[in-house]
Structure 1
């Protein structure tokens, strides 16, 4: 993880105090480095797959099922024997999701696709990803995806952040890179908070 030691090279600001690149990066690096990532230490496989619903219907990551063993509207994303749950159209309300599912979403949908589109990172999409089937593998994938994204954002100057994100972001193509970075910050903050809450529910389960 990125160091928060003010004397470390990784923590040196990339611009003036209060400029846009520094504010955006400081917000997420401080939150992840000081709070969210340390809260993930010691994550077990039991927590990773914990389904707090009484019906056991939370979306998760699991071994691939045969077509006849799942609803016709369900989708199994993944390139191998381990897949992630989706459904189209999405149910309303959408099912609760496990920590495993949330990591899959963060690693692929939040970080991986963006690093690929904007910084030339490895290809990433829900249908072809090799999903981690253990908590430690998920943490390793998250750390790599997070560091790749942050390294890319660090290459954008204040002027670069005003450039439109382009067609990779679909209907939001005309929005600025700064808006995208702020959006990814929000995504990371709220999804990692959801994971922390699921760990609390596991710790206090009846």
Structure 2
């Protein structure tokens, strides 16, 4: 097949969709609240009931807030599955959905972070569906247009952004899967979940 004959939109989407369908989706089934909030090391960042964190900043618009600091400490704190999903839901997907596909604005400061694994997965799948629906509508000409000032690299094409978002999803959801793998191997009768 010649490069000119490729359906670039489908090819870009399949980078993520194959990974989601065959490697990640089933790995998220049965995520418990204990796994969601679990921190295997002290002083990690998570999503917590508002007012219960010791992080420099606790941001969000609901009963739960995400731990944060600006600038990010070096080394960055270890983060829970809850924190990683919050980052993916808001910073990777929802903000981009708002910037490029006309849905309501979303930001770390105003987001209502999930207080349970089930709610977080529902939020994730809603934002993912919105992203993929938006990407499906892009013509080849639209994939070549620079993303503009809504993004940190305004000269990058929309195709570059799609690839970047899909790499971010693969990266962070792989981390979530690794934490799920680690969780049962480090739990003991005296080691309760840390929130």
TM-score (norm 1): 0.85
Q: Work out whether 1:60 is the aligned partner of 2:43.
A: no
Superposition pairs of residues 29-178 of structure 1, within 5 angstroms: 29-53=17-41, 56-65=42-51, 70=54, 74-170=56-152, 172-178=153-159
1:185 aligned residue:
166
Please state how far the C-alpha of 1:40 moved relative to its aligned partner. Answer: 0.1
Please state how far the C-alpha of 1:17 moved relative to its aligned partner. Answer: 6.7
Partner of 1:37, secondary structure, is helix
**Structure 2 residue runs without a partner (length 5+):** 188-195
Partner of 2:43, secondary structure, is coil
Please state how far the C-alpha of 1:19 moved relative to its aligned partner. Answer: 2.9
Q: How many pairs were matched up?
A: 184
2:192 aligned residue:
none
Task: Render the CA deviation track for 1:125-170: whole Å, top value 9, x for unaligned.
Answer: 0000000000000010000000000000000111110001011003
Partner of 1:83, secondary structure, is strand
Partner of 1:183, secondary structure, is helix
Two-structure CA RMSD over aligned residues (Å): 1.5
2:181 aligned residue:
200
Distance, in Å, in 1 between the alignment partners of 2:13 and 2:139 is: 12
Distance, in Å, in 2 between the alignment partners of 1:18 and 1:62 is: 46
Distance, in Å, in 2 between the alignment partners of 1:117 and 1:34 is: 29
Distance, in Å, in 2 between the alignment partners of 1:95 and 1:198 is: 15
Please state how far the C-alpha of 1:34 moved relative to its aligned partner. Answer: 1.7
Please state how far the C-alpha of 1:203 moved relative to its aligned partner. Answer: 1.7
Please state how far the C-alpha of 1:76 moved relative to its aligned partner. Answer: 1.0
Runs of 4+ in 1 over 3 A off after TM superposition: none
Please state how far the C-alpha of 1:70 moved relative to its aligned partner. Answer: 3.6
